[in-house]
Structures are given as C-alpha cells and as structure tokens.
Amino acid sequence: MDKTERMTASNCLYRGRILNLRVDEVALPSGVQAKREIVEHRDASAVLAVDAYGLLLFVSQYRYAAGKELLEIPAGLVEDGENPADTAVRELQEECGYKPGKLEKIASFYCSPGFSTEKLHVYFASELVKSKLPEDEDELIETLRLSPAEAEEKITNGEIADAKTIAAIYWYRRQQFDNGI
C-alpha cells in the first residue's frame, strides 16, 4: 500500500540561520487533504570519544531552548559542502581539543521526523591526539570526562537527558558487553 503524501502547496513562514519553518498542504493517498508543519533543519554530527584511559569525553553547556545546562557529547551542524564525518572531527577539535586517530560511524537518524528534516550522524572516536581548533564564540563549553559506568548512572539519575548522548552511551556499553568488558 502506497502511503506517500504529495505536497499540493507550501508556504515558508520563517527563514533563519539554522532553520526554516514552512507549512505544507498535502494530499494523502486516500485523497484527504492535510497540513504539515515542517522545520527545515541542517544535518548535524555528534561524536562519542574515548580517551586512552577509557574515559568518555562530554561537554557541558547552557542550552537556552531547554532552559538549563546539559551534559552532551560534542556535536554541531554540518556546514555546506562538508562531510558529516568531517563535522564530527571538527566539533571534537573545537569543543574538546582532540582529533581522532580512528573514527567509526555509529548511526544516522532523524531527531524528530514528525516535523523536522534534521538528520543526526553519530560517530565513535578513539586513538585521540591533542589538536585544538578555535571554539565558536557564541558557546561557553566545559569539557568533562566520565567512565562509561558514571555516564550510564547520569542517564539513570536524569543528569544526562540529551537523546543523541543517551543513544551513543548505550551503543558504547553494548559494544563493551559484546566484547566481554
């Protein structure tokens, strides 16, 4: 059964630096007309990095939309013409001061596909070497290191509440489990 919705009209309500907002009218396969509110958002990359001591690197920063400081893995928007893996490397350098010797793709997923086009690409970085790039001037970031068990505990007690970070930590813990660690 074809479930494809066909756009019949589109109206852009807002154009911004990182997102646009539009309202589309669509025809469902049944012929019913519906409206879809869409946030057009650039793709982003995130990176879970492990240092030589087995500690995971996190950043703590105030997130205005959430109204509080959040503990997250490094992440940022994919620039025009940039490969998502290169974005992950750049963000790790800007936010934590390291470049990975090894980079592995964990997954790509839509953050909220009911209304947003944003796709997030998540990577795992290891064999880190010091390599600092200038930080974005509109971000105040603190870097922290946690053991995998400490990170998992922070998920359990609500101190880590960021979806990409939770997914990456659980992926890593599964890898450890599968390898008998």
Catalytic positions, written as ranges? 137
Query: Who contacts 118 (Cβ-Cβ below 8 Å, separation ≥6)?
Result: 39, 41, 42, 43, 44, 110, 111, 112
**Residue 18: Cβ within 10 Å count:** 11
Token readout for 173 is 């813990």
Strands 19-27 and 33-41: antiparallel
The alpha carbon of residue 157 and the mean position of all alpha carbons in its chain are separated, in whole angstroms, by 21
Instruction: Output b/e per residue, 73-101; b: 16+ Cβ within 10 A.
Output: bbbbbbeeeeebbebbbbbbbbbbebbbe
Q: Which amino acid is at 81?
A: G
How large is the angle between the packed helices 148-156 and 163-178, nearest 10 degrees?
Answer: 130
